[in-house]
Amino acid sequence: MVVTSRSEALAGVWSALGGDPGDLEHVRISNEQPIYASHFGVDTAATATIGASALAAARVWRERTERWQQAEIDARHASVAYRSERLLRAGGEPVGEQWHDVSGYYPTADGRYIHLHCNFPHFRARTLEVLGAEENRDDIARACAQWNAFDLEETVIAARSCAFMLRSRDEWHAHPQGQALATLPLLTITRHDDGSPPEPLSDAPASEDEMPLSGVRVLDLTRVIAGPLCGRTLASYGAEVLRVGAEHLPLSRRLAADTSFGKRFAFLDLREEEGQQRLRELAASAGVVVQGYRPGTLAGRGYGFEAIRELRPGIVYLSLSAWSEAGPWSQRRGYDSLVQTASGIALEGGLRAGVEVRPLPAQALDHSVGYLAAAAVMTALARRAREGGSYEIRVSLAQTGRWFDALGRVDEPADHDPGVEDIADLTAPMASEWGDLAYVRPAGVLSETPPRWTRPPALPGADEAAWAA
């Protein structure tokens, strides 16, 4: 299965977004050598998704100004951007840890493997309680060796934690969840004709430093990588992005730093009436809401699409989930590495490398979803400018994983994955509360308004839960 060409993959994504094939003449791809030491199409996915987000920004610019920009996609830069959180440095050092030591793969009694996701304290505590194990890999390994993989998967999930059995590609395609995904497109953008009028982007206040998304307010209700990366991408093209989290919810320092460029970061407590009311006020004055909680979670609290559409007709509302809103796993928790585990990607990676299991060399599903989500939001904004209405967007890690798997395989990958020593020409410095940062610059460059972040990443909760203006 030969890897799909990057231009063909981009054309497929643009079609999934409902874009005009003629728009692709405004994209130029360069520097297409393999960057990753992987037989999977990580490089192809990076070029396609970042290219789609840049082209969507160029299309928004056309709505604002009646002229196109050229999207310049340096494929090497796009590939490196898929590792941004691993390559971020503060004072020359990584910003915290990305994974907890006890997360990862463990052999089970039936000769299989289970992936335990223990990065957050509450998941770790629940999983350790199921296993009756201490918080160290040796004790966890001894406990896992007493279980069959499927039984352990089901028991940990019933305990409201995260664990998935290592499956083959064929097993995944035969699984009811894999079959449910086979009926779905890559993503959906649904227009709801609620009588809300068009909102021309040219109505936004003009300025000397005008960007494609200047004047667009984005309420970012996401965590981890994919959702925050969507907001970070929108910020790079000029949107005002306010990320709202909660002080009592755990987060990764490294991921918070890497995905918060260009944003403000506030805390609200939705267990309190004051926090609930403030979130409603923010949603009512936003143009876009991006949320990454399990299907039905925010709707159950009164912040689903229908409720927000009543508060703010004409809203663009994006929902990101792990397993999609279809199939028996729709309510299960999940993350990039777990989708790789369940869908056959991690097992095939191991077989090709001559080891038991090998995940992708980047969080490629997270990054793919983040850029796809940003492209979908900008597509909806361009449509809203002409057609009016409210827009509901759905995208998931598992749907994107199916697309990623179908990109094919690379016959001759690179001999090593990109490290800090390989990418100095793609980084820039920025002072921040996290320290003096060296970060991967935004990829997906536009000829007139190249993407940029005008704010360093804020510390979580450092800002007021309010728009800047």
Architecture of domain 6-96+181-326+363-446: 3-Layer(aba) Sandwich (3.40)
> What does residue 190 show for φ and ψ, rounded to 5 degrees?
-115, 120
Give pLDDT, residue 205: 52
Would you state the pLDDT for residue 151? 98
Q: Where is average pLDDT lowest: 18-32, 158-172, 238-252, 342-356? A: 342-356
352 confidence band (pLDDT: 50, 70, 90): confident
Contact indicator for 457, 434 with CB cutoff of 8 Å: yes
Region 341-359: mean pLDDT is: 90
Q: Would you state the pLDDT for residue 1?
A: 67
Instruction: Report pLDDT digits (tens) over 420-467.
Output: 999 999 999 999 999 999 999 999 999 999 999 999 999 999 999 999
Residues 6+ apart with CB under 8 A from 71: 26, 27, 28, 51, 54, 55, 57, 58, 444, 445, 446, 447
Nearest to 372 by CA among 441, 450, 253, 290: 290
Q: Across the chain, what does the average pLDDT equal?
A: 95
Contacts of 138 (CB under 8 A, 6+ apart): none
> DSSP 3-state assignment of 217?
strand
* Mean local confidence (pLDDT), 34-44: 96
Across the range 238-258, mean pLDDT stands at 94
DSSP letter (8 states) at residue 160 = T
The CA distance from 437 to 426, in Å, is 13
Record the pTM. Answer: 0.96
The pLDDT tens digits for 200-219 are 987 655 566 899 999 999 99
More confidently predicted of 351 and 171: 171
pLDDT at 100: 85
The model's pLDDT over 372-411, given as tens digits with 9 standing for 90+, comes to 999 999 999 999 999 999 999 999 999 999 999 999 999 9
> Can you give the pLDDT at residue 206?
56
Terminal Cα-to-Cα distance of the chain (whole angstroms) = 52
- Check whether 36 has a pLDDT greater than 70: yes
Instruction: List beta partners, residue 27.
Output: 71
- Residues with Cβ within 8 Å of 106's Cβ and at least 6 positions away in sequence, in order, are 113, 114, 116, 140, 141, 144, 145
Please compute the mean of the pLDDT values over residues 147-159 and round it to a whole number: 97
CA dihedral 71, 76, 82, 87 (to 10 degrees): -120
pLDDT per residue over 48-100, tens digit each? 999 999 999 999 999 999 999 999 999 999 999 999 999 999 999 999 877 78
The rounded percent of the chain whose pLDDT value lies above 70 is: 98
Domain layout of the chain by residue ranges? 6-96+181-326+363-446
For the stretch 427-434, contacts whose Cβ atoms lie closer than 8 Å and that sit 24 or more positions apart, written own/partner, are 427/87, 430/261, 430/456, 431/456, 432/90, 432/257, 432/456, 432/457, 433/458, 433/459, 433/462, 434/90, 434/95, 434/257, 434/459
What is the per-residue pLDDT for 317? Answer: 99
Q: What is the pLDDT of residue 381?
A: 98
Identify the three-state secondary structure at position 262.
coil
Contact 75, 47 (CB under 8 A): yes
**What long-range pairs does 15-20 form, CB within 8 A, spacing at least 24?**
16/185, 16/186, 16/187, 17/52, 17/56, 17/187, 17/189, 17/375, 17/376, 17/379, 18/189, 18/379, 19/55, 19/56, 19/59, 19/379
**Size of the chain, expressed as the number of residues it contains:** 469
Share of the chain above pLDDT 90, in %: 92
What does the block give as tokens for 102? 């006890």
Residue 367, SS3 per DSSP: helix
Which band of pLDDT confidence, cut at 50, 70 and 90, is reported for residue 289? very high
- pLDDT-based confidence at 126, cuts 50/70/90? very high
The residue type of 333 is R
* Burial class, 276, CB count within 10 angstroms (exposed 0-12 / middle 13-18 / buried 19+): middle
